[in-house]
C-alpha cells in the first residue's frame, strides 16, 4: 500500500494553469489526500448516525435538545502558492477515483473574495446547496424538488430574514421575529437533511479556499463557519495558512478588547478559538517540495512515455544555464528549488518551449543518470553547454529576460544584477561591432554587478547590505592599534551609510609600508635599462609591473605621492581581457583602453569609488612611521624624470607590447574564451571578485603577509601573491563537484616563491589547482585555469632573482644586480665589528617580526639591544641599511613606553640628519 504513495509525480508543461483539473499523477499532495480521505470517511459515518437520529426524533416536531454540534472542519495548511487551490479543485476527482458510488456531495469551490459585500456568507452557503439540488433534478428532467425540501428551504429563509437586515417591525412583531431567528439552527440542520435525501448523499463538503485572503471580512467568515457549519451534515474543507489565521484572530481580539485584556491572554484566546474551529487532529500539512523533488518528473505531450526529465536533472540543467561554470562552492550555485508549487511551475516553464523544440536536447536530459556521481553532474553540464552553443541567440535572450523578471519578483538580487549586467555587456559588444572606432567600454567600472558605487542610492527601507560597515571593519584591521591620518580620513568617507542590495567585499585600501619609493623606482629602472644591453623585455616587464600593481593617481594632502600597492588594476585588466574581444577591435582603441586601465585609479579602491575626495597619506610619505628622505622626494624642475615620471613616461612605449601579448593570448585560448562569452561568465566572475578581494584585504591587513621586514617584500612577490589568490579563486569555483575544494587563504605565508612551479607546498593551491590537471571529465575547468596561468600579466615577474621594487622606504646600501634587489646583502663596513653588527641585524630582521606589537616582546628586544656594548654607535652606523626596521622598532617601543625608546629616537634622528 505504501508503494502506491511513492510513485512518480508529474509536472506537465502543457498545462495552461495550476488551478485546473489534473490527473491523479499530476496531483502531488497524495499524503494530504490520504489524510482528507480518512477524515471524510469518518465524517460520513458520523453523518449517517446523525441522519438516523434526526429521522426518528424530528419528523413530527422540533426537538431542539437533539441538535448536535460537530466541529469537524478539515484544515489544509499551506503557504501562499503551495498548490492549495489546485488541491481543493481536484479533491472531488481524486475522491471519486477511489469511490465510484460517493456518499458525499462536493459543492463548488467557494472563494470568499468573490462574494460581494451586500451578500451574506450564510446565504451564499444555502444558495450553493439549493443550486446543487436544482441541478440534480434538472439533469434527471424532474420538474421540481420535493415539497418537503421546499418547505424546509422556505422555513430557513424566514430565519435568515433578520440576519439579512430586513425590517423586524416593532412590539410583538419584533419578538416574533426573534423567536424565528432562534430556530435557525434547527431549520438549517433540517434543510441540509432534506437536501441529502434529495441528492441521495450523506453529507455536503463545503470547499472554502483562502479565507485569509479576504482580510477585511476574515473574522466574520470564520464566525459563519463556527455558527453554521458545526453540523454533521456539513463537512467544511478549508485551506489557508494557519499562521495568518492566527494573526487575524489575535488582531480581532486585540481590537475588540474593551477591558484591556493582557496581550499574552489575547494570544491564548486566539489559539483556543482556532483549536475549536479547526481541531488540531483535523489539520494536515502539505508535503514540502524538497521531499517531493525526488519523485517529480517534467513531461510534455510532444514526447512519448518514458521520456520525462526528473526534476532534479531539469533544475540542474537550468542552474547550468543561469549559473554557468560554477560548482556551488561558497553559495556560487544556489538551489533553484523554490518553496512553493506555483513558483516551481513558473520557473520550470521559463525555458520549456525552447527545449520542446529540440527533441535531441530533451532526450539527452531524460537519459542522464540520476545517481549522485560526477558523471551525473558532468552530463547535465554537457547538455546545457551543447544547448547554448547551438543556440542562435534567441533562447539566451529570452532566458535572460525571463530569469531577470523571476529574480526581481523573488528578490534574488544577485541573479537580477548578474542578468542585468549580462544584458548591458551584450549591448557593449553590439556597439563595438557596429563601430570599431568607438572606445572600448570598461565592464568592471560600468556593470552594476561590479560597480558598488552605482547602488549607494538604495532606499534604507529596502532590503540591503551595509557596505560602509564592511569597509569600516577592514579599516579597523588596517589600523592595528596605531594612529593614522590616512585611516582617519578614510573613515570620514564612511560617515554616511552606504547601502547595496548585494554583498560586496570591502574596498581596497592603502596599507602602511606597502609602497614603492620614488628613489627605488628610479634606481631600479635605471639599472635594468643600463644592464639590458639592448634587450628591452626586462625593462618593459618592470615598467608594466610597476604601473599595474601600484598607483599614484589620487588627491593627497602630503607633498609627495609615492606609488602605493594596489591590486585593482591587475584584476580589472585580467577580467576585461576575458570579457572583451581585443582581436576584432581596432588596435589603436585597444592600446588606448589598456593605457586607461593602467593610468587610472585601481578598480574597487577608495580612490576609484571616491575619486574627488582628498586623503592624508602620512603613512607612506612624511609620517613618522615611514619617513621619506631627500632621495625619495617628488620630481623637481632640475630632475623632471625622477621616480614616478620615469615609469610614467616609459609606459607609453611599452603599452603596445602588453596589448599585443594579450591579443596573442586571446588567439591562443580563443576556444575557452568564446565559450565563456557565449554562455555568460559574469556570475562566476562576481564570485571570483568577492573571494579575491576578501583574501587580498586579509592579505594586506594581516601581520606578516606582506611583512615590513620580510625578504619577500617586493612588488614582484606581491604580484605572485595576487596571481595565486585569483587563480585559486577561479579553480575553487569551476572544479567538478566530486573533487575536493579547500576553503582556506592562499599566499598567506611570510614567504612566496617567485616560481609558480614551487607553489605545491601550499596545501590549498595543491588541492584546488594542481588536482585539475588530473581531471579528465570537465576539461573546461582545466582549460580556463591553464589559460589564466598563461595570461600576460602573470608573465611580468621573473622566476629568478629576489624580485623587483622593494616595498617601503629605499634601503640605500642595498645592491641592485640586473635590477633585482638584494637587500639581504650588506655592503662591508670596516668600522663595524662583524661580531657586533650581526646580532643587531639579526634582532632587527628576525626578532621584530616574531614579536609583532606585543609589549613583552618589544621589552625583551630593547633589553637585548641595550646589552650590546656601544650599541648606540653601532645602531647609528647601520641606520642607513636598516632604517625602516629601526623606525618601526622605535615606534613600537615608544608606544609601549619601553626604556631606551627615546634614545633610539635620537639615534635615528642623528642618522637621518647625516644622510
Residue 805 lies in a domain: no
The residue from 747, 773, 794 where one domain ends is 794
Asked whether 234 and 104 are in contact (CB, 8 A), the reply is no
What are the backbone angles phi and psi of residue 74, rounded to the nearest 5°? -95, 125
Based on the domain organization, do 390 and 482 belong to the same domain? no
What is the mean predicted confidence (pLDDT) over 364-372?
74
% of the chain at pLDDT higher than 70: 72
What is the mean predicted confidence (pLDDT) over 586-608?
90
**Residue 576, C-alpha cell as written in the block:** 576585461
Please report where in the chains the cell 575626495 appears, as a residue: 613
Residue 114 lies in a domain: yes
- Dump pLDDT digits (tens) for 737-782: 777 888 888 887 778 889 888 898 888 898 889 888 766 555 788 8
Strands (E), 300-445: 309-310
What is the mean predicted confidence (pLDDT) over 572-580?
95
Which pLDDT band holds residue 864 (cuts at 50, 70, 90)?
low
Asked whether 322 and 399 are in contact (CB, 8 A), the reply is yes
Determine the pLDDT at residue 625. Answer: 33
Based on the domain organization, do 298 and 183 belong to the same domain? no
Based on the domain organization, do 101 and 187 belong to the same domain? yes
Residue 45 lies in a domain: yes
Based on the domain organization, do 332 and 470 belong to the same domain? no
Type and span of the H or E element at 12: strand 9-12
Which pLDDT band holds residue 34 (cuts at 50, 70, 90)?
very high
Give CA separation, 906 vs 521, 530, 901, in Å: 29, 39, 9
What are the backbone angles phi and psi of residue 408, rounded to the nearest 5°? -65, -40
What secondary structure does DSSP assign to 850-911, as a single string? HHTT-HHHHHHHHHHHHHSTTHHHHHHHTTTTSHHHHHHHHHHHHHTT-TTHHHHHHHHHHH
**Residue 672, C-alpha cell as written in the block:** 575557452
Q: Is the pLDDT of residue 828 over 60?
A: no
Which pLDDT band holds residue 19 (cuts at 50, 70, 90)?
low
Residue 627 lies in a domain: no
What residues contact 746, with CB distance under 8 A and at least 6 apart? 695, 724, 725, 728, 762, 764, 765, 768
- Dump pLDDT digits (tens) for 122-159: 888 899 999 999 998 888 776 688 889 999 998 888 77
- Dump pLDDT digits (tens) for 79-97: 888 888 889 989 998 898 8
Residue 353 lies in a domain: yes
What burial class does residue 238 get, using C-beta atoms within 10 Å of its C-beta: 0-12 exposed, 13-18 middle, 19+ buried? buried
Based on the domain organization, do 606 and 522 belong to the same domain? yes
Based on the domain organization, do 493 and 548 belong to the same domain? no
3-state helix, strand, coil in the chain (%, to 5): 55, 5, 35
Which pTM does this prediction carry?
Answer: 0.78
Q: Is the dihedral of CA 316, 321, 324, 330 positive or negative?
A: negative
Determine the pLDDT at residue 724. Answer: 95
Based on the domain organization, do 462 and 556 belong to the same domain? no
Determine the pLDDT at residue 507. Answer: 94
Determine the pLDDT at residue 639. Answer: 43
Determine the pLDDT at residue 535. Answer: 59
CA distance 834 to 832: 6
Answer with the residue of higher pLDDT: 32 or 368. 32
The residue from 794, 811, 844 where one domain ends is 794
* Sequence-ordered alpha helix ranges (H) in 763-846: 763-768, 779-789, 834-842
Based on the domain organization, do 319 and 228 belong to the same domain? no
CA distance 649 to 652: 6
What burial class does residue 220 get, using C-beta atoms within 10 Å of its C-beta: 0-12 exposed, 13-18 middle, 19+ buried? middle
Q: How many structural domains does the chain have?
A: 5
The residue from 470, 498, 526 where one domain ends is 498
Residue 683 lies in a domain: yes
Based on the domain organization, do 484 and 557 belong to the same domain? no
Q: Is the pLDDT of residue 3 over 50?
A: no
Residue 432 lies in a domain: no
Determine the pLDDT at residue 164. Answer: 44
Give CA separation, 243 vs 79, 80, 81, 758, 837, in Å: 9, 11, 15, 60, 78
- Dump pLDDT digits (tens) for 607-664: 999 887 776 655 444 333 333 333 343 334 444 344 445 666 677 777 888 889 999 9
Residue 17 lies in a domain: no
Asked whether 156 and 185 are in contact (CB, 8 A), the reply is no
Q: Which of 343-357, 581-595, 695-709 has the lowest mean pLDDT?
A: 695-709
Burial 687-704 (b: 16+ CB within 10 A, else e): bbbbbbbbbbbbbbbeee
CA distance 82 to 653: 65
CA-wise closest residue to 550 among 674, 651, 670: 651
- Dump pLDDT digits (tens) for 886-900: 666 666 676 666 666
Range with top average pLDDT, 636-650, 659-673, 793-807: 659-673
Based on the domain organization, do 597 and 692 belong to the same domain? yes
Based on the domain organization, do 202 and 315 belong to the same domain? no
Q: Average pLDDT of the chain?
A: 78
Cα angle vertex 113, ends 112, 115, to 5°?
A: 65
Strands (E), 169-311: 203-209, 234-240, 283-285, 296-299, 309-310
Based on the domain organization, do 486 and 517 belong to the same domain? no
Domain that holds residue 393: 294-418
State how far Cα 200 lies from the chain centre: 59
Answer with the residue of higher pLDDT: 390 or 239. 239
SS3 category, 234: strand
Amino acid at each position: 500500500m505504501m508503494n502506491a504513495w511513492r510513485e512518480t509525480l508529474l509536472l506537465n508543461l502543457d498545462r495552461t494553469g495550476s488551478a485546473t483539473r489534473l490527473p491523479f499523477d499530476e496531483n502531488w499532495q497524495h499524503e494530504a489526500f490520504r489524510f482528507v480521505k480518512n477524515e471524510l470517511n469518518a465524517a460520513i459515518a458520523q453523518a449517517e448516525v446523525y441522519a438516523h437520529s434526526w429521522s426518528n426524533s424530528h419528523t413530527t416536531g422540533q426537538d431542539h435538545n437533539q441538535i448536535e454540534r460537530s466541529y469537524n472542519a478539515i484544515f489544509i495548511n499551506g503557504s501562499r502558492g503551495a498548490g492549495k487551490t489546485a488541491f481543493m479543485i481536484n479533491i472531488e476527482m481524486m475522491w471519486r477515483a477511489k469511490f465510484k458510488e460517493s456518499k458525499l456531495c462536493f459543492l463548488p469551490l467557494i472563494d470568499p473574495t468573490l462574494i460581494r459585500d451586500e451578500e451574506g456568507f450564510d446565504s451564499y452557503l444555502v444558495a450553493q446547496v439549493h443550486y446543487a439540488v436544482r441541478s440534480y433534478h434538472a439533469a434527471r428532467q424532474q420538474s421540481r424538488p420535493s415539497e418537503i425540501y421546499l418547505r424546509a428551504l422556505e422555513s430557513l429563509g424566514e430565519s435568515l430574514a433578520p440576519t439579512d437586515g430586513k425590517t423586524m417591525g416593532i412590539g410583538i412583531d419584533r419578538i416574533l421575529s426573534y423567536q424565528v431567528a432562534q430556530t435557525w439552527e434547527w431549520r438549517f440542520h433540517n434543510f441540509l437533511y432534506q437536501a441529502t435525501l434529495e441528492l441521495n448523499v450523506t453529507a455536503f463538503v463545503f470547499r472554502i479556499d483562502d479565507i485569509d485572503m479576504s482580510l477585511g471580512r476574515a473574522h466574520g467568515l470564520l464566525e459563519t463557519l463556527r455558527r453554521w457549519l458545526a453540523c454533521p451534515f456539513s463537512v467544511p474543507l478549508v485551506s489557508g495558512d494557519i499562521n495568518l489565521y492566527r494573526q487575524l484572530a489575535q488582531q480581532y481580539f486585540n481590537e475588540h478588547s474593551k477591558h484591556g485584556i493582557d496581550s499574552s491572554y489575547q494570544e491564548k484566546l486566539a489559539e483556543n478559538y482556532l483549536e475549536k474551529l479547526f481541531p488540531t487532529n483535523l489539520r494536515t500539512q502539505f508535503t514540502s517540495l524538497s521531499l517531493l523533488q525526488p519523485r517529480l518528473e517534467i513531461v510534455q505531450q510532444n514526447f512519448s512515455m518514458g521520456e520525462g526529465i526528473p526534476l532534479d536533472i531539469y533544475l540542474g540543467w537550468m542552474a547550468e544555464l543561469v549559473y554557468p561554470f560554477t560548482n556551488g562552492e561558497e553559495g556560487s550555485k544556489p538551489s533553484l528549488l523554490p518553496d512553493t508549487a506555483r513558483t516551481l511551475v513558473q520557473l520550470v516553464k521559463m525555458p520549456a518551449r525552447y527545449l520542446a523544440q529540440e527533441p535531441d536536447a530533451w532526450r539527452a536530459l531524460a537519459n542522464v543518470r540520476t545517481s549522485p556521481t560526477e558523471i551525473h553532474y558532468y552530463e547535465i553540464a554537457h547538455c546545457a553547454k551543447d544547448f547554448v552553443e547551438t543556440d542562435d541567440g534567441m533562447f539566451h535572450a529570452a532566458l535572460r529576460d525571463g530569469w531577470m523578471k523571476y529574480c526581481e519578483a523573488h528578490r534574488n538580487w544577485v541573479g537580477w544584477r548578474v542578468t542585468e549586467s549580462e544584458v548591458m555587456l551584450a549591448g557593449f559588444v553590439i556597439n563595438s561591432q557596429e563601430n570599431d572606432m568607438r572606445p572600448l567600454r570598461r565592464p568592471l567600472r560600468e556593470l552594476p554587478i561590479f560597480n558598488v558605487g552605482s547602488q549607494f542610492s538604495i532606499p534604507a527601507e529596502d532590503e540591503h547590505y551595509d557596505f560602509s560597515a564592511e569597509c569600516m571593519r577592514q579599516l579597523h584591521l588596517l589600523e592595528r592599534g596605531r594612529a593614522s591620518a590616512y585611516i582617519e580620513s578614510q573613515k570620514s568617507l564612511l560617515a554616511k551609510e552606504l547601502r547595496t542590495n548585494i554583498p560586496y567585499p570591502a574596498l581596497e585600501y592603502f596599507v602602511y609600508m606597502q609602497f614603492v619609493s620614488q628613489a627605488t623606482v628610479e634606481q631600479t629602472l635605471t639599472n635594468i635599462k643600463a644592464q639590458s644591453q639592448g634587450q628591452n623585455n626586462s625593462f618593459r616587464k618592470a615598467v608594466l609591473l610597476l604601473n599595474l600593481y601600484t598607483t599614484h593617481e589620487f588627491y593627497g594632502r602630503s607633498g609627495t605621492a609615492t606609488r602605493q600597492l594596489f591590486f585593482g588594476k591587475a584584476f580589472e585588466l585580467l577580467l576585461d581581457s576575458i570579457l572583451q574581444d581585443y582581436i576584432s577591435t581596432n588596435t589603436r582603441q585597444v592600446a588606448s583602453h589598456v593605457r586607461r586601465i593602467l593610468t587610472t585609479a585601481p578598480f574597487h579602491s577608495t580612490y576609484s569609488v571616491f575619486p574627488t575626495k582628498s586623503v592624508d597619506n602620512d603613512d607612506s610619505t612624511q609620517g613618522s612611521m615611514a619617513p621619506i628622505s631627500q632621495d625619495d622626494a617628488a620630481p623637481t624642475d632640475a630632475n623632471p624624470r625622477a621616480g614616478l615620471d620615469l615609469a610614467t613616461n616609459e609606459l607609453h612605449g611599452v603599452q603596445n607590447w602588453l596589448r599585443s601579448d594579450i591579443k596573442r593570448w586571446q588567439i591562443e585560448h580563443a576556444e575557452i574564451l568564446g565559450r565563456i562569452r557565449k554562455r555568460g561568465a559574469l556570475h562566476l566572475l562576481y564570485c571570483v571578485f568577492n573571494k579575491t578581494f576578501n583574501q587580498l584585504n586579509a592579505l594586506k591587513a594581516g601581520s606578516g603577509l606582506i611583512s615590513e621586514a620580510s625578504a619577500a617584500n617586493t612588488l614582484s612577490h606581491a604580484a605572485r601573491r595576487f596571481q595565486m589568490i585569483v587563480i585559486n579563486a577561479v579553480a575553487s569555483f569551476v572544479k567538478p563537484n566530486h573533487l575536493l575544494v579547500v576553503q582556506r587563504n592562499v599566499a598567506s605565508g611570510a614567504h612566496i616563491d617567485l616560481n609558480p612551479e614551487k607553489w605545491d607546498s601550499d596545501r590549498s593551491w595543491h588541492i584546488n589547482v594542481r588536482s585539475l590537471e588530473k581531471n579528465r571529465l570537465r576539461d573546461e575547468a582545466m582549460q580556463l585555469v591553464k589559460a589564466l596561468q598563461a595570461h600576460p600579466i602573470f608573465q611580468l615577474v621573473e622566476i629568478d632573482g629576489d624580485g623587483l621594487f622593494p616595498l617601503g622606504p629605499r634601503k640605500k646600501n642595498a645592491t641592485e644586480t640586473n635590477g633585482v634587489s638584494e637587500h639581504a646583502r650588506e655592503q662591508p663596513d670596516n668600522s663595524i665589528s662583524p661580531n657586533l653588527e650581526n646580532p643587531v641585524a639579526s634582532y632587527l630582521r628576525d626578532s621584530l617580526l616574531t614579536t609583532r606589537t606585543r609589549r613583552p616582546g618589544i621589552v625583551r628586544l630593547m633589553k637585548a639591544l641595550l646589552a650590546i656594548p656601544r650599541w648606540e654607535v653601532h645602531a647609528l652606523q647601520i641606520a642607513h641599511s636598516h632604517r625602516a626596521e629601526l623606525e618601526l622598532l622605535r615606534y613600537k617601543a615608544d608606544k609601549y613606553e619601553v626604556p631606551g625608546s627615546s634614545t633610539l629616537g635620537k639615534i635615528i634622528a642623528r642618522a637621518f640628519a647625516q644622510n
